[in-house]
Amino acid sequence: QFVLNSFCLSKQHHSLDMTTNPILLYGDPNQALFFGGMGIVSALVFGNLGAAYGTAKSGVGICSVAVLKPELIIKSIIPVVMAGILGIYGLIISVIISGSLKAVPYDENITKNPSEWVYNYALGYKQLASGLCCGLSSLAAGLAIGVVGDAGVRANGQKNILIALILMMIFAEALALYGFIIAIVLVMSG
């Protein structure tokens, strides 16, 4: 309230009046770009963290199995491949969000008409939510793939364990896919 009062003290500065200046009423649309940028960061960083954890945890299991049974390396690579897909989900969402980040020019005709703004806070919040949906669900899936993949790879010497491993990987990957689908819906609805 103090900031607005200090801006509106003088009636001779009508451009700073709350009723006539949409930037004071709705907020600066160029500051909303921060939330879109955080959506990009969230999708990419959390998705890659999930992919890295899944790859590292499964990779340790593959290395320990390869010492005793080198012929099982190719069969054991499935968790690493499925963990790598998680990073791709984050990359896709980040590229889609970054394509819609556009600064609003500080032209007097545009700043007075919020309907002409190409970016606003609602869009920034949607993009942040989209990035968090994709990124955090990919992180959760990466944790699941890493733990299940490590245990499955170590037990890969047993017959019939490969089918169970693939099924567990599919359900773990589905966690990331749910977040990816919601992220796409959120980004495209903006």
| Mean pLDDT score of the chain | 83
Note the pLDDT tens digit of each residue in 107-142.
Answer: 766 667 767 777 788 888 999 999 999 999 999 999
Note the pLDDT tens digit of each residue in 12-41.
Answer: 444 555 566 666 666 777 788 899 999 999
CA distance 187 to 42: 14
Residue 114 near residue 120, CB atoms below 8 Å: yes
Q: Give the class (CATH, top level) of 30-188.
A: mainly alpha
Looking at residue 97, its pLDDT comes to 94
Delimit the domains of the chain by residue range.
30-188
Looking at residue 161, its pLDDT comes to 82
What is the distance between the terminal CA atoms of the chain, rounded to a whole angstrom?
A: 31
Looking at residue 175, its pLDDT comes to 92
Rg (the chain; Cα; Å): 24
Q: Ranked by mean pLDDT, which of 6-10, 124-128, 149-153, 162-166 comes out on top?
A: 124-128
Residue 106 near residue 175, CB atoms below 8 Å: no
Whether pLDDT at 145 is above 60: yes
Residue with tokens 């980004």: 187
CA distance 148 to 162: 12
Looking at residue 23, its pLDDT comes to 64
